[in-house]
Amino acid sequence: MDYTPRIQQILKILLNSRRPVSKQAIADSLGVSKRTIQREFEYLELCVRPFDLKLENHKGKGVELTGSPENMDRLRESLGSEHYPHAADRDGRRRRLLFELLRDRTPRKLFYYSELLGVSEATAGSDMDALCPWLEESHLGIVRRPGYGVILEGEERDYRDAMRRFIEETAGRSEAYSSGDITGEIFAEALLDAADSGIYSLLESDTVRRVDKVLRAMNEPKIFQLADSAYAGLVIHISIVIERLQQGAALNSVPPEMGNLEFWDDYNLAVRILEAMEKEFEITIPRGELSYVLLHIRGAKMAYTGEEMEFPADMTDDRLLPMIDRMIDVYDRSIADELKEDEEFLRGLLVHLRPVLVRLSTGLRIHNPILEDIRQEYADIFEACRRAAQVITEETGYEVNEAEVGFLAMHFGAAQERVRENKQYTRKVNIGIVCASGFGVARLMMTKLKDRLGDRAILKAYGKGEINKYVISGTDFFVSTMNLDQLPVDYLQVSPLIPPKDLIKIEYKLEDYSHIRRDTTATPFNRRLDDAYFLIREIKSLIRRYRRMETSESLRFRELLQFISMQVTDSLHAAAALRDGIEEREKINSQIFPELGFALLHCRTGAVREPVFVTCTPRGDGPFTDPYFRGIRAAILMAMPVDDDRKMHAEVLGSISGALATNQAFLDKVKHGREDEIRAELARELKCFFFDHLDSM
């Protein structure tokens, strides 16, 4: 039976122990995680069964290998020390040969490799010939000279590129890496798993772990925005830089095509990364290395979050959008119109293409671990994307390699599947007919539309004042004789008699919605989802729009109200309405709390469209001097709009006012802290409120 090195090590630990051994102890002994050992135990049972041995679990103590001494000896004898693939495994043998060529850059006789692989010199030579195309992609070559031996030749940059490709392809065979789950220690283990499959890593696992640890400790937003595969590539790249420097191989010159590095957007980030690495590994990293780390960051795939990333000026939307338009036409004209209307596809492809052009322009390669699967299972899509990629070549002059074509196929394939599903799926569309009252004109319009639309639509009439969030959530779009721009709805404004041109518009919109899946079941769970979504939007808005203001300590109460109101409204009329509302509320019951050091100014008013939370303090460290304020240090304004969500607004703002009375740290920050510190405390309080609210739903 063939055993991986890790299985051999675990079995030897169990064979040599006279008492149960915990999985954690085994993990510590081998320098891996307990989770990794647990995965191996699923296979371990099969390994010991042929020898009439058993693995027994002792609660609280660990695992023990049990059986007769004779069978223990049989298992012990079967454990070999050979870690590499058998010579009959041609692919594994060639990867072993590639590993040896990359690992040892000293001339070796062909006989050395034939003995190492257990094959004839002719077979070893044939294997080297088979590796040449792979090496040529990294601009490396195998040089064989009589009396000298065999060695790899090429530039240091190309040699490193080959190392990176080899490690990515090898680690890409492990389950953790290929699934994209490569965060934290799991990424380092992916390299070790690759070693256990028969190919030893070119890098020290300790180097990989330390690089990973340093990057995560930096808390750089751009690093966290990297896609998992791009982050793994960055860790590998920096690990190679460090180990090559430790071996005396450095890149001292900056590629001339990069120009002045300081002009690159991510220059400062690359500097911070290398400074952190210099401190961790106690080495000096030359400027030439910085240029290649910078290139890697600029060419990295980003995790799509919906937020815009910064890229060089020549990667602007004005350049990319026409190119995407042409790519879609070349990909498949029969569905081009649908693809061009797929916002998710267009935005995702736009974000993807920016780093693609950086990689292509700098010769930076990217590894695609599922390229062969895409080629085989989605051959038609892959070939269509190969044609579409020619548009990039025509526009930029850069050849697009197959790894990049594979990633394009993932974007185009997903969009094509959505088009197919939308065309196959049809449902009735919910249309709201709106007039001032919901009767009269709306009823006449419904009668005409029923005759035209038949059973393709469900029609309901509403007065404008009846349009609340529940009506909106159950309606696809509205047809109205009035302007509904102030409502968050999709609508068509038409003539009351609905002439033919308006009927055509309505039918086009109905056709679009009929292919979009919609869950219209008003279950309690769906209502809870609606509430949660509302809370998320409200909380994000409050945190984003929070402001800390400063003013003169001598301002009188009404002057302060006028000052704050002007800051949070969009017109003089609205500011006056907000000021008057707060004054009326203050007359009913004063909200100035000298014992706590703040005033809580609040009201419900039509002067604001969203809930407001802002604070205002005097310049300097003293309190407001107007006697009405009675020595308070901070004025806090909370205002909620007049709408159907009064209860929810009150709960959210109420959680903030409650925190001011119970959380001294929050109150201290409001009175003396910076805006970012107050916003951070506000976010923490609202996070607690949100999860408490979810638990009570």
pLDDT in tens, 32-76: 667 667 767 767 877 888 888 888 888 878 889 899 988 888 888
User: Which of 193-197, 269-273, 564-568 is predicted with the least confidence, judged by mean pLDDT?
Assistant: 193-197
169-173, 260-264, 510-514, 549-553 — most confident range: 549-553
pLDDT at 194 exceeding the cut of 50:
no
Percent of the chain past pLDDT 90, that is, above it, reads 13
So what's the pLDDT on residue 219? Answer: 81
Q: In whole angstroms, what is the distance from residue 603 CA to residue 681 CA?
A: 23
Q: What are phi and psi of 591, to 5 degrees?
A: -110, 30
User: Which of 26-35, 87-96, 456-465 is predicted with the least confidence, judged by mean pLDDT?
Assistant: 87-96
Query: What pTM did the predictor assign?
Result: 0.38
Q: In whole angstroms, what is the distance from residue 489 CA to residue 475 CA?
A: 9
Q: In whole angstroms, what is the distance from residue 181 CA to residue 188 CA?
A: 11
| DSSP calls for 138-181 | TT-EEEEETTTEEEEE--HHHHHHHHHHHHHHHHTTSHHHHTT-
Are 261 and 343 found together in one domain? Answer: no
Are 71 and 113 found together in one domain? Answer: no
So what's the pLDDT on residue 184? Answer: 41
Q: Residue 204 — very low, low, confident or very high, per pLDDT cuts 50/70/90?
A: low
Give the end of a domain, one of 78, 103, 138: 78
So what's the pLDDT on residue 32? Answer: 61
**pLDDT tens-digit profile of 641-670?**
887 777 788 888 888 888 887 888 899 999
Q: In whole angstroms, what is the distance from residue 80 CA to residue 110 CA?
A: 26
So what's the pLDDT on residue 180? Answer: 40
CA atoms lying within 13 Å on the CB side of residue 245: 22
pLDDT at 101 exceeding the cut of 90:
no
**What number is the average pLDDT over the span 300-304?**
47
Reduce the DSSP state of residue 457 to 3 states and report it. Answer: strand
Q: Is residue 642 part of a domain?
A: yes
Q: What is the CATH number of the domain that holds 334?
A: 1.10.1790.10
Are 73 and 135 found together in one domain? Answer: no
**Residue 541 buriedness (CB in 10 A; 0-12 / 13-18 / 19+):** middle
Q: Answer for the pair 152, 135: CB distance below 8 angstroms, yes or no.
A: yes
If one counts the domains in the chain, the total is 6
Are 294 and 173 found together in one domain? Answer: yes
Return the structure tokens found at 84. 């590499």
Are 188 and 321 found together in one domain? Answer: no
Element (H, E) at 38: helix 34-48
Return the structure tokens found at 357. 């052009």
- Cα angle value 115/118/122 (rounded, 5°): 80
**pLDDT tens-digit profile of 229-242?**
667 777 877 887 78
Q: Answer for the pair 660, 595: CB distance below 8 angstroms, yes or no.
A: no
b (16+ CB within 10 A) / e for 433-462? bbbeebeebbebbbeebeeebeeebebbbb
So what's the pLDDT on residue 1? Answer: 52
332 DSSP assignment: -
Q: In whole angstroms, what is the distance from residue 494 CA to residue 506 CA?
A: 9
pLDDT at 309 exceeding the cut of 50:
no
Percent of the chain past pLDDT 70, that is, above it, reads 78
What are the C-alpha distances in Å from 62 to residues 26, 48, 56, 516? Answer: 10, 17, 8, 54
**What number is the average pLDDT over the span 365-386?**
83
Are 395 and 481 found together in one domain? Answer: no
Cβ neighbours around 274 below 10 Å, total: 22
Q: What are phi and psi of 226, to 5 degrees?
A: -65, 140
Q: What is the CATH number of the domain that holds 18?
A: 1.10.10.10
Are 353 and 459 found together in one domain? Answer: no
Q: Is residue 522 part of a domain?
A: no
So what's the pLDDT on residue 39? Answer: 67
Cβ neighbours around 21 below 10 Å, total: 20
Q: Residue 250 — very low, low, confident or very high, per pLDDT cuts 50/70/90?
A: low
**pLDDT tens-digit profile of 592-612?**
888 889 998 888 888 888 899
Q: Residue 329 — very low, low, confident or very high, per pLDDT cuts 50/70/90?
A: very high
Are 205 and 254 found together in one domain? Answer: yes
**pLDDT tens-digit profile of 272-294?**
888 898 888 888 887 777 777 77
With left for phi above 0 and alpha for psi between -120 and 50, is residue 357 left, alpha or beta? alpha
Q: In whole angstroms, what is the distance from residue 682 CA to residue 656 CA?
A: 8
Are 288 and 326 found together in one domain? Answer: no
Q: Is residue 583 part of a domain?
A: yes
Q: What are phi and psi of 227, to 5 degrees?
A: -65, 155
Rounded to the nearest 10°, the torsion over CA 576, 580, 586, 587 is: 150
Q: Residue 155 — very low, low, confident or very high, per pLDDT cuts 50/70/90?
A: confident
So what's the pLDDT on residue 87? Answer: 37
**What number is the average pLDDT over the span 160-166?**
73
217-221, 395-399, 443-447 — most confident range: 395-399
**What number is the average pLDDT over the span 352-369?**
74
User: Which of 52-66, 172-186, 450-464, 572-586 is predicted with the least confidence, judged by mean pLDDT?
Assistant: 172-186
**What number is the average pLDDT over the span 116-143?**
84
b (16+ CB within 10 A) / e for 490-508? ebeebeeebeeebeeebee
Q: In whole angstroms, what is the distance from residue 441 CA to residue 266 CA?
A: 60
Q: Is residue 85 part of a domain?
A: no
So what's the pLDDT on residue 229? Answer: 62
Q: Supply the mean pLDDT for the chain.
A: 78
549 DSSP assignment: E
Element (H, E) at 686: helix 675-696
pLDDT at 298 exceeding the cut of 70:
no
Q: In whole angstroms, what is the distance from residue 299 CA to residue 591 CA?
A: 56
Are 472 and 397 found together in one domain? Answer: no
Q: Which of 261, 262, 246 is nearest to 292 (CA)?
A: 261
- Structural domain including 147 reads 90-154
Are 536 and 578 found together in one domain? Answer: yes
So what's the pLDDT on residue 306? Answer: 40
Q: Is residue 70 part of a domain?
A: yes
Q: Answer for the pair 489, 480: CB distance below 8 angstroms, yes or no.
A: no
Q: Is residue 308 part of a domain?
A: no
Q: Is residue 415 part of a domain?
A: yes
Reduce the DSSP state of residue 465 to 3 states and report it. Answer: helix
Give the end of a domain, one of 407, 424, 441: 424
Are 285 and 195 found together in one domain? Answer: yes
**What number is the average pLDDT over the span 191-216?**
61
So what's the pLDDT on residue 123? Answer: 82
Q: Is residue 521 part of a domain?
A: no
So what's the pLDDT on residue 385? Answer: 94
So what's the pLDDT on residue 3? Answer: 63
Q: Residue 447 — very low, low, confident or very high, per pLDDT cuts 50/70/90?
A: confident
Q: Residue 477 — very low, low, confident or very high, per pLDDT cuts 50/70/90?
A: very high
Give the end of a domain, one of 454, 481, 514: 514
Q: In whole angstroms, what is the distance from residue 65 CA to residue 407 CA?
A: 47
